[in-house]
Structure 1
Amino acid sequence: MTKKSLFLTVLASTLIAFNTFAQLGTNKETFTRADSLRGYLSPLRTCYDINYYHLDVKFDIPNKFISGNVLFKFTATQDFTKLQFDLFANLKVEKVVYKGQELPYTREFNAVFVTFPQPVVKGSKEEFTVYYSGNPTIAKRAPWDGGVEYNVDSLGHPWVSTACQGMGASVWWPNKDQQADEVDSALISISVPTGLKDISNGRLRKVTKLKDGYTRFDWFVANPINNYDIEANIGDYAHYSDTYDGEKGKLTLDFWPLSYNLEKAKKQWGDNAKPMLKAFEYWFGPYPFYEDGYKLIESHHLGMEHQSGTAYGNHYHNGYLGRDLSGTGWGLKWDFIVVHESGHEWFGNNITSKDLGDMWIHESFTNYSESLFVENKWGKQAGQEYVHGTRFLIVNDRPIVGPYNVNKEGSGDMYYKGGNLLNMIRTIINDDEKWRGILRGLNKTFYHKTVTYDDIVNYITEQSGTNLSPVFDQYLHYRNLPILEFMTTREGKLAVRWQADAKGFNMPVKVKIKGGEYQYIKPTTRFTPLNIEGTTKDNLEVDTFNYYIGILMD
């Protein structure tokens, strides 16, 4: 029998779609020793648990030059004599000092290997300081192609910022550059030409005017923080503050626009910041960093989720640079960067993937958070319309989960396809309070932790009471959509099965007779009768509004 394909959803793999969030790295087919040194959590990295950094860096802006030192405080997890830290090869290691003496070191690509004079004993707390200098990589298109970004504002004042997700913080300062080990706390000291300000993560402890025409700003981060989140933002900034009455009490809000954008900022950020916090505390639980406060900082680049100091470059417009990414109209009612980048405080900053290959944990949940924000303000139907509307941006080019141990993320579909996947998971669970409890439970269970694919998928499966592993497997490990195939039997009845790559794929899906009520069916990968009285290929409807799937009808 000849089959004809009837797609009730548009398969985005056939479209040439503009993918707004370009990936944070090049699409590699093969990997090198340098990739492994950067991405692999080797024994030379696992031998020490980083506890504290003091980053003390001076920015010579006219020469695009930086110099300074970083204090590493750590706990030994085993006996060792050698460890690895990371610093891009274009930056010079001046010396490594331990207990008053310089340590020998070697370099290979962007990795630095330090040898200690005697074994460091398991359980001991030690420290060393790295002195370094050089011209850091200049960002070509921050935040997607990162580094240090040198600009001037519209009045000609220097305006400098860092953005290094994916590329890694070692592009501008020495550290253990691996997402699996977050430092417990950090002091960030940035020295800038007097007259400018530096705004970094956490709380401002002290401002010191130095003798050489520079001023040092000391910012302290009390919570665990990933290296790529640590930031410098240097410019002619103004400041205003507010508070938010949140789930854990009063949360301090600090806003740092460029001086001439103060009034714009008060209006735009005032309209968006508190509604965002209200929505996300409802869905995800308390803002994860009350001790460090919440900040918005104007940047030249579009934005980045720098923990407790979100970088903002959306030009005080609603939407994404004035555009609605969903095409529904809902995306023009709020500021995309305030909402999206702040959503990362929960997924990305609070819950951090151990490996960049699982960056979907950051981006899929945060993309989905946009629709939850819309729902919180304008109702569930609006939120569902928003997430459905983003499908035209999906390209289905390759798996969303990237290769592990080589510092490489997967497909940019982690945004829009990932958001639609999570909306499907909610639809399958079919209990909005349970779903909200799962989202809040994720942020409580994995509070300030780094996680794996299995951590997240197993948690959702266990809490939902439904085996969702094959669903996550299909959408995250394969580029193809599952196809819901219907066949008319010799008896004139409909049979149904899934065509899918994932082993044991059996996703429940909602169907109905036209004019009737939706009900759930649970097809497998073998044809089984569709036991809904009166269904034919002409009167059957599948819920393709909430399910991102293909349909095949004979």
Structure 2
Amino acid sequence: MKLLLPVLLVVLSINLFSQSPEKFWVKSEQLRAERLLKNENVNYPGDSQYDVTYYKLDLNISHTTQTIAGSVIVNAKADALNVSSIYLDLVNQLIVDSVLCNGNTAAFTRTTNKINITLDSTYNPGQSFSIQVFYHGTPPSSGFGSFSFGTRGGGAPSIYTLSEPYGSRDWWPCKDTPADKADSADIWYTVTNPIKAISNGILEEVVDNGNNTSTYKWKVRYPIAQYLISLAATDFVEYINYYIYSPSDSMPVTHYIYPETFNTNLKNLLDKTPQMIEVFKQNFGEYPFINEKYGHAQFGWGGGMEHQTCSSMGAFGEGINSHELAHQWYGDAITCKDWHNIWLNEGFATYAEGVWIEATQGKAAYDNYIANEMSYAKNASGSVWVQDISSVNSIFNYARSYAKGAVILHMLRGIVGDSTFYDILRTYTYHPTVSYGVAVTEDFQAVAESVSGIDLDYFFQQWIYGENYPRYNVNWSKTQLNDSLWNLRLNISQLTNTNPLFFTMPVQIKVTRVGFADTLITVFNEQQNQEFNIPIRGQINSMAFDPNNYILKNLNVTVDVGDKIGSPNQFVLEQNYPNPFNPTTKIRYTIPDVGSELAQTVLKVYDILGNEVATLVNEYREAGSYEIDFDASALTSGVYFYKLTNGNFSEVKKMILMR
């Protein structure tokens, strides 16, 4: 699901895996067990005594009376010994008329938002039974609008659902947890003409009932989580293009759009969808619901929701379109097992926006996108593993679940390299332990370690279960050892954090040399204060810490001049990078060793009218090179100036904030 910011089939090849599925499963279970030992068990809201295998919704929906009526069939298998009763989740506002078990009348009682059902026999693991619930009423609307009756475009009726995270029970009886996906589903909606009722999977039939109503019969052949079953209904315009996935095969990409919204500009944007699928296919693997469809159905909520095979869209744009499409891989085909691990849905889809940007606009645009997400991620409170899943706002906190989740994937890419990173994603997509199923962080970690051959426990423990981000103070110097060899002394210290105390990370160091090509070195920073001495062939000119911005961080860099060769001998105010930027950029400057008393250093930002908008530095600083992160989130697009003063020195440069 994409929240709009306020400012803002499968052919499995065995060579995808460097470990067997059995070894992978053992590793994944070991990691899960370690979490349980820390008393951080999953809040599991559904009845654990049975496993859902099939849903059938057969509902008559009246916009005039704002009611629904019909039945839901739940086929299931016992998942425990001696199961004689179960419960389904359904809000008390909906009235249950009767319940059948295997076609026979079953006794039931109602408790808070539950139907407690007495089965016709006692069932043991693997034994099947079928429940059918007949019910009616006016569904409430919770969360982001679980079931909504509305109007649009001159009063035309509009009906839609958005059940994530806890809204399915608001309109149909189910096992309301993402941990238990049905193997398949039938979804039948009867609506008044000319309303079209759009849902998941394939539209097998539209039945004209002869009474000014039609029944739309949708069939889902892939596993599906309860919150992804959807309805979007109004008098849509239908527009179709195709994703061609082989020389002889294609899949329909079907868009259901409000008549007053459909125009040439929107059509041109929707026409990019097959290209988006192709880009994600290259990076994530084939579109996971290739035998059904993909598409969009416009609805009345202000964001987007990744309903399986048909995303519901309250807005359109390359960012939100690519986000909801990416969820088909990560969120729909692989679903977070619980809302604690929502980053496996939202962090992945947010990162995929950057994948699309990089494929179509280039690496510089991707870098700018990541810098933007990093600025949001720095506002994250608490761990990425959501501690309070009773709060919808906590689950879908943008800074934590979306931005920081995406940045974590960017950092993993920096550690393992581009090729291995996308091997990890494709392996995760197809791995039999999670494909078309559910996952927790430890499942993804096990894949990442298996493919990369690297122990990444330190990485996931601190970034998923820890809080905040590193704040580095870096001091470096260069010393000539002989005619051709120099020493780079690098001291990395971190301000004390809470959990973890400090961050362990491999760090790239870029060294520029006189008469030689630049060299990239990686050091493994595993201490709060750690010094490295690195021999470098050729005279060292400069050093850049994490030059590719692979680490979410704050950074302060100084040069230890002392009596070292190559002390800075002049003031330098560098051009900010990136430029244009949105909304963060870096400003670097150098203060020379002038052998006199220190002068106050002031670095300020002004708008085009000369009004001061930010003070970045205002203190006495020793000679050295410095780097400052400037966050312009509170500013509007436009031209700005930054001015450095130190004693008699003063220099001004221009930068552009482009949103």
Per the normalisation by structure 1, the TM-score is 0.82
The aligned counterpart of 1:250 is: 250
Match of 2:408 in 1: 421
Give yes or no for contact 1:474–1:482 (8 Å, CA) kept in 2.
no
Cα deviation digits, residues 304-349 of structure 1 (max 9, x gap): 10000111221x5x4xxxxxxxxxxxxxxxx222111111001100
Q: 1:149 to 1:439 in 2, by over 3 A?
A: same
Match of 2:89 among 62, 86, 91: 86
**Per-residue deviation at 1:94?**
1.9
Name the counterpart of 1:147.
146
Deviation string for 1:100-137 (max 9, x for gaps)? 43322233322322122421233222111011111112
Number of aligned residues: 496
**Structure richer in strand, relative to its length:** 2
Query: Matches of residues 88-107 of structure 1 in structure 2 within 5 Å?
Result: 88-107=91-110
Q: 1:529 to 1:261 in 2, by over 3 A?
A: closer
Please give the alpha-carbon distance, in whole angstroms, between the structure 2 residues aligned to 1:115 and 1:52. Answer: 19
CA displacement, residues 261-302 of structure 1 (integer Å, 9 cap, x when unaligned): 444476234432022111100110000001221121122222
Instruction: Tell me which of 403, 406, 426 is aligned to 1:440.
Output: 426
**1:79-116 Cα deviation digits (max 9, x unpaired):** 31011211122222222111343322233322322122
Question: What code does the residue aligned with 2:507 have?
Answer: V
Code of the residue aligned with 2:402 in structure 1: it is: Y
**Higher helix residue share:** 1
Q: Which amino acid aligns with 1:509?
A: V
**1:416/1:99 CA distance change after superposition, 3 Å:** closer
Tell me if structure 1 keeps the 8 A contact 2:153–2:260.
no
Inter-partner Cα distance in structure 1 for 2:363 and 2:542: 27
Does 2:300 align with 1:300?
yes
CA distance in 1 between counterparts of 2:45 and 2:535 reads 56
Please give the alpha-carbon distance, in whole angstroms, between the structure 1 residues aligned to 2:97 and 2:368.
56
Residues 20 and 275 (structure 1 numbering): CA distance in 2 closer, same or farther, change over 3 Å?
Answer: farther
Verify the 8 A CA contact 2:508 2:523 in the aligned structure 1.
yes
Calculate percent identity across the aligned residue pairs.
Answer: 25
Superposed CA deviations along residues 210-267 of structure 1, whole A, max 9, x for unmatched, are 2543221111111111111111111001213232112694222212112344444762
2:188 and 2:218 in contact (8 A); partners too: yes
Bigger mean CA deviation after superposition, 369-378 or 386-395:
386-395
Displacement of 1:406: 5.5
Q: Structure 1 residue 343 and structure 2 residue 326: aligned?
A: yes
The equivalent residue for 1:65 is 67
Matched, 1:388 2:391: no
Give 1:113-152 correspondences, 5 Å limit. 113-138=116-141, 145-152=144-151
- CA apart distance, 1:483: 2.9
Letter in 1 for 2:509: V
Would you say 1:454 and 2:442 are equivalent positions? Answer: yes
TM-aligned CA deviation for residue 542 of structure 1? 1.4
Counterpart code for 1:530: F
Q: Name the amino acid aligned to 1:310.
A: S
* Shift in Å, 1:146: 2.3
Equivalent position of 1:550 in the other structure: 554
Stretch moving more, 78-87 or 468-477? 468-477
Cα shift at 1:487: 6.2
SS at match of 1:522: strand
Task: Determine if the alignment matches structure 1 residue 399 to structure 2 residue 383.
Answer: yes
Deviation, structure 1 residue 465? 1.9
State the match for 2:623 in structure 1: none
Does the C-alpha gap of structure 1 residues 124 and 486 become closer, same or farther in structure 2, counting only changes over 3 Å?
same
Separation (CA, whole Å) in 2 of partners of 1:187 and 1:509: 51
Query: C-alpha offsets along residues 335-383 of structure 1, whole Å, 9 cap, x if unaligned?
Result: 2221111110011001101101100000111110011111111223322
Q: Would the aligned equivalents of 2:469 and 2:503 in 1 still touch at CA under 8 Å?
A: no
1:27 aligns to what?
A: none
Shift of 1:433: 1.7
How does 1:306-385 map onto structure 2 within 5 Å?
Answer: 306-314=307-315, 316=316, 318=317, 335-385=318-368
Whole-Å Cα distance in 1 between the matches of residues 355 and 463 of structure 2?
A: 21
1:192 shift after superposition:
0.8
TM-score norm. by structure 2 comes to 0.70
CA apart distance, 1:20: 4.9
Tell me the amino acid that sits aligned with residue 328 of structure 2: E
**Letter matched to residue 414 of structure 1:** S
Of the structure 1 ranges 146-155 and 172-181, higher mean CA displacement relative to structure 2 is found in: 146-155
**CA distance in 1 between partners of 2:512 and 2:192 (Å):** 69
Q: How does 1:49-60 map to 2 (within 5 A)?
A: 49-60=51-62
C-alpha separation between the residues in 1 aligned to 2:112 and 2:376?
Answer: 36
Instruction: Determine the C-alpha separation between the residues in 1 that align with 2:370 and 2:476.
Output: 33
Q: Give secondary structure in 2 for the equivalent of 1:279.
A: helix
Letter in 1 for 2:545: V
In 1, the alpha carbon distance for the partners of 2:102 and 2:526 equals 64
Corresponding residue number in structure 2 for 1:480:
468
SS at 2:533 equivalent: coil
Give the Å deviation of 1:19: 4.8
Secondary structure (helix, strand or coil) at the match of 1:216 reads strand
Is the contact made by 1:162 and 1:233 (CA closer than 8 Å) also made in structure 2?
yes
Superposition RMSD in Å: 3.0
Does the residue aligned with 1:435 lie in a helix, a strand or coil?
Answer: helix
- Name the SS of the counterpart of 1:107 in structure 2: strand
| 8 Å CA contact retained: 2:475, 2:490 | yes
1:495 aligns to what? 491
Per-residue CA deviations over 1:180-200 (Å, capped at 9, x if unaligned) read 110011110111112211011
Among 505, 508, 511, the alignment partner of 2:509 is 511
Q: Which residue does 2:452 correspond to in 1?
A: 464
- 2:288 maps to amino acid: P
Residue of structure 2 equivalent to 1:220: 219
Query: Per-residue CA shift, 1:13-70, capped at 9, x if unaligned?
Result: xxxxx95599xxxxxxxxxxxxxxx95256xx23222111110111121222111110
Partners of 1:199 and 1:269 in 2: how far apart? Answer: 21
Q: Say if 1:539 and 1:216 are closer, same or farther in 2 by CA, change over 3 A.
A: same
Give, in whole Å, the separation in 1 of the partners of 2:429 and 2:240: 27
Report SS of the residue matched to 1:82: strand
The one of the two structures with greater contact order (alpha-carbon pairs below 8 A, sep at least 6) is: 1
Q: Is the 8 A contact 1:511 1:520 kept in 2?
A: yes
Contact 1:19 1:393 in 2 (8 A): no
Gaps of 5+ in 2: 9-41, 480-487, 559-659
Instruction: Give the partner amino acid of 1:68.
Output: G
Q: Residues 41 and 162 of structure 1: is their aligned pair in 2 closer, same or farther, counting only changes over 3 Å?
A: closer
Q: Which runs of 5+ in 1 are unaligned?
A: 1-17, 23-37, 319-334
Question: In 2, Cα distance between the equivalents of 1:449 and 1:374?
Answer: 28
Q: 1:380 to 1:488 in 2, by over 3 A?
A: closer
Secondary structure of the residue that 1:528 maps to in structure 2? strand
Task: Give the aligned partner of residue 186 of structure 2.
Answer: 187
Distance 2:144 2:215 in 1: 28
Distance 1:95 1:265, change over 3 A: farther
Identify which range, 368-377 or 542-551, moves more after superposition.
542-551
**Alpha-carbon separation, structure 2, partners of 1:112 and 1:262:** 43
Taking the aligned partners of 1:213 and 1:472, their CA distance within structure 2 comes to 56
Q: Structure 1 residues 402, 21: CA separation in 2 closer, same or farther (over 3 Å shift)?
A: farther
- Judge conservation of contact 1:146–1:167 (CA < 8 Å) in 2: no
